[in-house]
C-alpha cells in the first residue's frame, strides 16, 4: 500500500490532479447553466494550481530512482515506471505547462464571459493540458504518439469554438489537416524505428542506436530506417512547433483562433513540442547528431528569416506575433542543435521557453482585451493606448521589448544564453545570422511601441473593459520579464 | 508459398489504397477502402496474427467504412460535386514521392535478413494481447482511456455547438 502511494500516486500526482479535474468537470457538464461557467473555470484553474503544487513537492523531495522493492515485485508497477519518466526535466516542464495553463484559463474565462461559446471549453483545456503532461513524461514512442494526439485533437476544437465565424473554422481546418498529416508521419517514423530496433522504449532505443550504429559497416537497411525514422519524426515535430518550412498553418490558425486560445497554443503547446524534440533528439539521437544538426540548423535560420521578414509586412497584431513565434521557434531550435562538444544544455532552452511563453501570453492577453472591445486586432487599435491606459501601455512595452530581446528584459538574456550555447557548439556563423535576423525583427516590435506612444488616439472616451483577472495576468507576465532578467538563476535547477 | 501470397496481397492492398485516392466518385473511394482493409487483414493473417486480422475486418471494414458509406449516401452527392478533373501537378508530385519512397523501401528490404534477428514479441491470440496490454503497455492503455473521453467530448462540442446556441437564442 505504502509502495503504491510513494511509487505510483505521488510521482503521478501532477498528472492525476489534471485528469481528476477533467473527470470532475465531465460530471459538472450535466449542469449547463451559464452561471456555472465561473465554477467550472475555478475547478480548471485549481486543478492546474494543484498540479503546480505537487510538482514543487516532488521537486522538494526529489528522488527519481526506481526503488528496489518495485524492481523485486516486477509487476505492472515496474512496467509503469519504465514507461513513465520522472526527472528534473520532466518536473521543470510540468511547472512550465502548469504556469502557462493557469494564465490561459484566466484568459479563456474572460473571453467567454463576453461571447457565446460551448460549455465544455475548460474540460477540453484540461484534456489538452493532461496530453502535454503525458508528453513530457513519456518514455516510449507509443506514449509520445498518444500524448501528442491527446494534446492536438481537443486543440482543433478549441480553435473552432466560434463556429459561425468562417475565420475560426478555416483556422481549425488548416490546423487539423496539417496536424493529422504530421501525426501520420510520426507513426511511420516510430514504426521504422520499431522495425529496426525491436523496441519502443526510448532508453533501450538510445542504447541500441549507440551500439548498432557504431559498427564499422552497419547494415544498409538499418541506416535507411534509422535516418528515415529520424527524418519523419523531425518533420512531425516541426509541424507541431511551427518551424519553417512547416509553418504554413501558423499565421492563419493563430489569427483565426480566439486570442486566449492562441496565447495558450503559442506558449504551452510550443513548450510541449520542444519537449518532444528534446526527448527524441537529445534522448535517443545523440549518437547520430552529426546528421541532424546541420539540417535543423538550416531550418532554424530559415525560420528566423521567414518569421521576421513576414512579420514586417503585417498590420494585424495577431499575425505579427504569429510570425514572430515562427522566428522564435528558429532561435529555440538553435539551442536544440547545440549538442556538441559539451552536451546539450537544457537550462538555456528552458529559460528561453519560459520567457518566450510568458511574453506571448502577456501580449495575447492585451490583444484579447483589444479584440473584446473593438472587435478587431489591427495594429492601429493600439494608437495612443500608452497614454489612455498607462499601466497597460508600460506592461505591453516591457513584453514587446522582451520579445525583441532588448537588454533590461528577460528576452535579451534568453537570446544571450541560446547564442552562447550555439557559439560553444561551434555554430558561430549561424549565430551571426541569428543576430542579423533579430535586428530585422526589432523593427516590427518597435513599431508596436510607436503606435502605443506616438500616434493620435482616435478612440477618446472608449476605454477598454475592466477585467481584473486579465489585468493581473498582463502585469504578472510583464513583471516576470523584469524579475527573470534580474534573477536568471531562479529558473535553474540541479542535475 | 507464403512469400508469394504476401507479395500478391501487398500489391493488391497498395492498388486498392491508390484506388481510394484516384477515384473521382466518393462511393468508389469508400469501396476501394474496404478492399484495402481486406487486403491488410489478409496480410495480418499471413503474419500469423489472426486476432488482429479479425479486428481489422470487424472494426475497419465492418464499422468505420460502413459509416463512411452512410455519410456519403446521406450527403447525396450530385454530379458536380465529384472531382471532375484530376490536376496533373499534385499527381506528378505524388508519383515522384511514391517512387522515391518505394526505392528506399525496396532497397532496404532487399537485404531483409536483418529483421529476423530482432525479437519482436508476437502477440497473436487474445490472451497474449491482453496480457501485454495490462502489463507492458498498461500506461499507454490508461492514457488511451483519457484520450477516448477527450475525443467523445470534442465530437460533442463540435456537433452540439449549433444546438446550444439556438437554445440560448430562444
Question: Could you report the per-residue pLDDT of A175-189, keeping only the tens digit for each?
Answer: 999 999 999 999 999
The answer to whether A110 and A470 have CB atoms below 8 angstroms apart is: yes
Alpha helices in A375-427 (DSSP H): 385-388, 390-404, 410-424
Residue B170: pLDDT band by 50, 70, 90 thresholds?
very low
Please tell me the least confidently modeled range out of A106-115, A188-197, A279-288, B158-167.
B158-167
Residues of B with CB under 8 A from a CB of A: 104, 107-112, 114-115, 118-120, 134-140, 143-144, 146-147, 149-151, 153-154, 156-158, 160-162, 164-165, 168
> Looking at the predicted structure, is the pLDDT value of residue A112 above 60?
yes
How many structural domains are present in chain A?
1
For residue A316, is it within any domain?
yes
Under 8 Å CB pairs connecting chains A and B tally to 107
- Distance, in Å, from the CA atom of A347 to the CA atom of A350, rounded to the nearest integer, reads 5
Contacts of B146 in chain A (CB under 8 A): 19, 22, 127, 130, 150
Q: What is the pLDDT of residue A151?
A: 94
Domain borders along chain B are 2-123, 137-170
Give the closest-approach CA distance of B138 to chain A in angstroms.
7
Cα-based torsion angle of the residue sequence A128, A129, A134, A137 in order, rounded to the nearest 10 degrees: 150
Chain B contact set for A134 (CB, 8 A)? 143
| pLDDT class of A330 with cuts at 50, 70, 90 | very high
Please report residues of A whose CB lies closer than 8 A to that of B156.
120
Cross-chain residue pair B157–A150, CB shorter than 8 Å: no
Q: So what's the pLDDT on residue B104?
A: 67
- Where is pLDDT greater, at A15 or A383? A15
Domain coverage including residue A302 = 285-495
d(CA A356, CA A241): 13
Under a CB-based contact definition with an 8 Å cutoff, are residues A129 and A97 in contact? yes
Please state, in angstroms and rounded to a whole number, the distance separating the CA atoms of residues B125 and B138: 18
Banded model confidence at residue A114, pLDDT cuts 50, 70, 90 = confident
Determine, yes or no, domain membership for A50. Answer: no
pTM: 0.89
Nearest to A91 by CA among A133, A121, A127, A46: A133
ipTM above 0.90, yes or no: no
Count other C-beta atoms under 10 Å from residue A75's C-beta. Answer: 11
Average pLDDT, stretch A426-454?
90
Q: What is the pLDDT of residues B98-157, one digit of tens each?
A: 777 776 666 666 555 444 444 445 566 788 888 888 888 888 898 999 999 999 999 888
Determine the pLDDT at residue B99: 72
pLDDT tens-digit map of A270-300: 999 999 999 999 888 888 888 889 899 999 9
CB contact under 8 A, A157 and B157: yes
Mutate: best of B101, B113, B150, partner A, most A CBs <10 A = B150
Q: Give me A137's grid cell.
A: 513524461
Min Cα distance A147 → chain B (Å) is 8
Distances (CA, A) of A351 to A161, A228, A273, A284, A357: 32, 32, 15, 23, 10
- Taking CA atoms, what residue in B is nearest to A148? B147
The CATH architecture assigned to B2-123 reads Up-down Bundle (1.20)
Q: What is the structure's pLDDT at A234?
A: 92
- As a whole-number percent, the residues of chain A with pLDDT over 90 amount to 52
Gyration radius (Cα) of chain B, Å: 21
A156:B146 CB<8 A: no
Q: Is residue A377 part of a domain?
A: yes
Distance of alpha carbon A477 from alpha carbon A241, whole angstroms = 22
Q: What is the mean pLDDT of chain A?
A: 88
**pLDDT tens-digit profile of A304-328?**
999 999 999 888 999 999 999 999 9
Residue A312 placed within a domain: yes
**A486 belongs to a structural domain:** yes
Higher pLDDT among residues A471 and A195, named by residue = A471
The band of A198, judged by pLDDT with boundaries at 50, 70 and 90, is: confident
Query: Hey, are the CB atoms on A76 and B135 less than 8 Å from each other?
Result: yes
In a domain, A417, yes or no: yes
Residue A103 scores a pLDDT above 90: yes
Per residue in A35-51, pLDDT tens? Answer: 788 899 999 999 999 99
Which among A211-215, A248-252, A457-461 has the top mean pLDDT? A248-252
Q: For cell 532552452, name the residue.
A: A349
Does residue A21 lie within any of the structural domains? no
Query: 538499418: which residue's cell?
Result: A222
C-alpha cell at A440: 530585422
Which three-class secondary structure state does DSSP give residue A430? helix
Residue B119: what pLDDT? Answer: 46
Half-sphere exposure of A4 (CA within 13 A, CB side): 2
Q: Is residue A393 part of a domain?
A: yes
Specify whether the CB–CB gap between A79 and B135 falls below 8 A. yes
Amino acid at each position: 500500500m505504502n509502495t503504491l502511494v510513494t511509487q505510483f500516486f505521488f510521482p503521478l500526482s501532477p498528472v492525476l490532479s489534471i485528469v481528476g479535474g477533467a473527470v470532475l468537470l465531465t460530471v459538472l457538464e450535466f449542469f449547463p447553466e451559464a452561471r456555472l461557467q465561473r465554477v467550472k473555470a475555478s475547478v480548471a484553474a485549481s486543478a492546474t494550481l494543484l498540479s503546480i503544487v505537487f510538482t514543487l513537492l516532488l521537486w522538494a523531495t526529489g528522488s527519481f530512482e526506481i526503488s528496489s522493492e518495485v524492481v523485486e515485485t516486477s509487476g505492472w508497477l515496474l512496467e509503469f515506471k519504465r514507461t513513465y519518466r520522472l526527472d528534473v526535466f520532466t518536473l521543470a516542464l510540468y511547472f512550465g505547462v502548469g504556469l502557462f495553463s493557469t494564465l490561459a484559463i484566466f484568459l479563456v474565462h474572460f473571453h467567454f464571459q463576453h461571447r457565446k461559446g460551448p460549455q465544455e471549453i475548460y474540460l477540453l483545456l484540461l484534456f489538452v493540458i493532461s496530453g502535454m503532461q503525458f508528453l513530457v513524461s513519456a518514455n516510449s514512442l507509443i506514449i509520445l504518439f498518444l500524448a501528442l494526439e491527446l494534446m492536438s485533437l481537443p486543440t482543433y476544437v478549441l480553435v473552432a469554438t466560434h463556429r459561425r465565424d468562417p475565420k475560426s473554422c478555416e483556422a481549425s481546418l488548416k490546423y487539423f489537416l496539417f496536424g493529422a498529416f504530421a501525426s501520420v508521419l510520426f507513426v511511420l517514423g516510430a514504426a521504422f524505428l520499431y522495425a529496426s530496433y525491436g523496441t519502443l522504449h526510448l532508453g533501450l532505443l538510445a542504447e541500441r542506436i549507440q551500439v548498432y550504429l557504431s559498427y564499422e559497416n552497419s547494415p544498409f537497411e538499418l541506416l535507411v530506417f534509422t535516418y528515415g525514422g529520424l527524418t519523419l519524426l523531425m518533420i512531425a515535430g516541426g509541424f507541431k512547433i511551427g518551424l519553417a518550412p512547416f509553418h504554413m498553418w501558423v499565421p492563419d490558425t493563430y489569427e483565426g483562433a480566439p486570442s486566449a486560445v492562441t496565447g495558450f497554443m503559442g506558449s504551452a503547446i510550443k513548450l510541449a513540442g520542444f519537449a518532444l524534440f528534446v526527448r527524441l533528439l537529445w534522448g535517443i539521437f545523440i549518437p547520430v547528431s552529426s546528421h541532424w544538426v546541420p539540417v535543423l540548423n538550416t531550418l532554424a535560420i530559415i525560420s528566423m528569416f521567414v518569421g521576421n521578414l513576414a512579420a514586417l509586412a503585417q498590420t494585424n497584431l495577431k499575425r505579427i506575433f504569429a510570425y514572430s513565434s515562427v522566428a522564435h521557434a528558429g532561435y529555440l531550435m538553435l539551442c536544440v542543435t547545440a549538442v556538441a562538444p559539451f552536451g546539450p544544455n537544457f537550462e538555456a532552452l528552458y529559460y528561453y521557453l519560459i520567457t518566450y511563453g510568458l511574453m506571448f501570453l502577456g501580449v495575447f492577453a492585451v490583444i484579447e482585451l483589444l479584440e473584446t472591445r473593438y472587435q478587431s486586432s489591427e495594429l492601429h487599435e493600439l494608437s495612443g493606448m500608452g497614454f489612455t491606459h498607462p499601466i497597460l501601455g508600460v506592461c505591453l512595452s516591457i513584453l514587446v521589448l522582451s520579445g525583441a530581446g532588448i537588454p533590461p528584459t528577460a528576452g535579451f538574456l534568453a537570446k544571450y544564453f541560446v547564442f552562447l550555447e550555439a557559439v560553444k557548439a561551434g555554430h558561430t556563423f549561424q549565430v551571426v545570422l541569428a543576430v542579423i535576423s533579430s535586428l530585422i525583427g526589432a523593427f516590427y516590435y518597435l513599431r508596436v511601441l510607436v503606435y502605443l506612444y506616438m500616434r493620435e488616439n482616435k478612440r477618446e472616451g472608449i476605454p477598454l473593459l475592466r477585467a481584473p483577472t486579465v489585468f493581473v495576468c498582463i502585469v504578472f507576465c510583464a513583471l516576470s520579464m523584469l524579475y527573470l532578467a534580474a534573477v536568471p538563476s531562479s529558473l535553474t535547477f540541479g542535475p | 508459398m507464403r512469400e508469394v501470397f504476401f507479395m500478391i496481397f501487398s500489391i493488391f492492398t497498395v492498388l486498392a489504397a491508390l484506388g481510394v485516392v484516384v477515384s473521382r466518385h466518393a462511393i468508389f473511394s469508400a469501396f476501394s477502402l474496404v478492399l484495402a482493409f481486406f487486403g491488410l487483414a489478409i496480410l495480418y493473417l499471413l503474419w500469423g496474427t489472426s486476432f488482429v486480422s479479425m479486428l481489422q475486418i470487424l472494426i475497419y471494414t465492418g464499422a468505420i467504412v460502413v459509416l463512411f458509406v452512410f455519410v456519403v449516401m446521406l450527403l447525396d452527392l450530385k454530379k458536380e460535386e465529384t472531382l471532375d478533373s484530376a490536376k496533373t501537378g499534385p499527381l506528378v508530385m505524388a508519383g515522384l514521392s511514391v517512387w522515391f519512397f518505394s526505392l528506399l523501401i525496396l532497397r532496404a528490404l532487399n537485404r531483409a535478413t536483418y529483421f529476423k534477428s530482432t525479437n519482436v514479441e508476437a502477440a497473436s491470440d487474445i490472451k497474449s494481447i491482453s496480457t501485454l496490454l495490462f502489463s507492458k503497455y498498461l500506461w499507454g492503455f490508461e492514457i488511451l482511456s483519457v484520450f477516448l473521453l477527450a475525443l467523445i467530448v470534442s465530437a460533442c462540442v463540435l456537433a452540439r455547438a449549433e444546438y446550444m446556441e439556438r437554445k440560448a437564442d430562444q
